[in-house]
Structure 1
Amino acid sequence: MISFRSRCGSPRLRGKPLADIAGKPMVQHVYERALQVANAHVVVIATDDERVAKAVRAFGGECVMTSPDHPSGTDRLAEVMVQIDADIYINLQGDEPLVRPADIEALAAGMLADASVKVGTLCHPIEAHEAGNPNTVKVVLANNGNALYFSRSPIPYPRDGEVAHYLKHVGVYGYRRDVLADYSSLPQPMLEHAEKLEQLRLMAAGYCIRAYQVEPTGPGVDTPECLEQVRALMSGQDPAPRPTLNDVRLVITDVDGVLTDGGIYYDAT
């Protein structure tokens, strides 16, 4: 079974699931790609927003209404689990209209081939400049492919200026039923609150997360700039290049008042 959450209340981009991309709401693009996953038996959209549900019904999709009080998509999926029986549940994000069905198939196949994998996800290599973006979640792996940690900060940190290799976490998760049954009862650790990353709740509780590497994927939709980039890609156009720190030639700062430690700090944001 594949379920994916879709909410309109994203603080960075209001109404995100219903944003028009090539004549369709974004949520429809994700749903249609999920239907192409060969080893999926059920595809449903989990939402707490009636506007999203109405749009889903309009294009003939299957929708499950859930509580508006879930702090994460995994909590939402746990509610869906009560209504739909399956061995493995795959959670797609509703803001990934360029997700590749073959990548989802690889995740499902990896978990089906190894019963010891309780939670699975995806990742791919990225360049150092992208690793500095806090909207891009990074992951570091053990030799067996299990995640050691996820962070919005660049990990690993190149302390001596050496070139580090970064992996971007793709927000797709596969769960076995027993993990989902336990998830909502697990305490939310400081790490989850600080990073705003739901998978850290599982890691803090001692669960292993196996990350399967795939080829670099298209961008997700986190901000209005990301939305325009995806619209360009899906219409066959070359997206406008996004500025990087290398494009900055001059920074002027006007400081009034008192700084807490006398320092001024800049990063990619």
Structure 2
Amino acid sequence: MVQKSWQRFLQSTSGKIGLILTIAIVLLSLLAPILHPYDPATDRNFTARLKPPSIEHWFGTDGLGRDILVLVWYGMRTSLTVGLISVGIGLVIGLILGLMAGYFRGKFDTVISWVTDILLAFPSILLAIAIVTVTGPSLPSVMLAVGIVQIPIYIRLTRSMVLSLREQEFIQAVKALGASPNRIIFNHIFPSTLSPLIVQATLSIGTATLEAAGLGFLGLGAQPPTPELGTMLADAFKGGYSLTYPWTTIFPGLFITLTVLAFNLLGDGLRDSLDPRS
């Protein structure tokens, strides 16, 4: 089964491109402290302010004389960390609540469905802004806010799959043999929900990265001197550099787009390969 899924994945052009881009982004993020140690509090050179791209500074420099290539490199690392942790929060909590609501039904399912519908009624970025406003601007607040925004997506996805699976004959047979609800949920239903959840989690990393960049642009994300792609865009716009010195916005925006594109392409490839109807 795994071999067939992998073969189908290799036949997907978008999936292969997404996998290559994702591996490159992850490796660059992991190797950043080794290949180029960086201290954001001291890495500035006012004599090299707003230099255009050159051999010395491939992406140019910003208003503080910092190398934009290094800032983008470490900003990608920050964005990837936010994406992975926030999606992990949404996935774990949403999975547990979705499994319980779909299997046990009753009042618990009604309350969970009601809360889920309310959360989904708000645009995700507005809900994230509200949460960060309450908790205070910081990187952990962004992770928490984006994670909470992701929770109803996984609740709805998991619940819908559980509602379908709990009526299947193999589940009824296990019930007849006297298996406990916990055994049925985690040994029989949960494994059948993994494929759609993996696909959704991959796609959500791109969405979470974009939302984190949006919060950073609004000044609600990572606080200086921590490098973050959205914050870099905000600094360029606030300083009035976006038109006169376009490299200060082009490269951070390009790598936000590249990160989102990589995970979306990877998610499309995984969806095609893991779809049981293929």
Shorter-chain TM-score range: under 0.3
Q: TM-score, normalised by structure 1?
A: 0.20
> Which is bigger in relative contact order (C-alpha 8 A, separation at least 6)?
2
Structure with the largest fraction of helix: 2
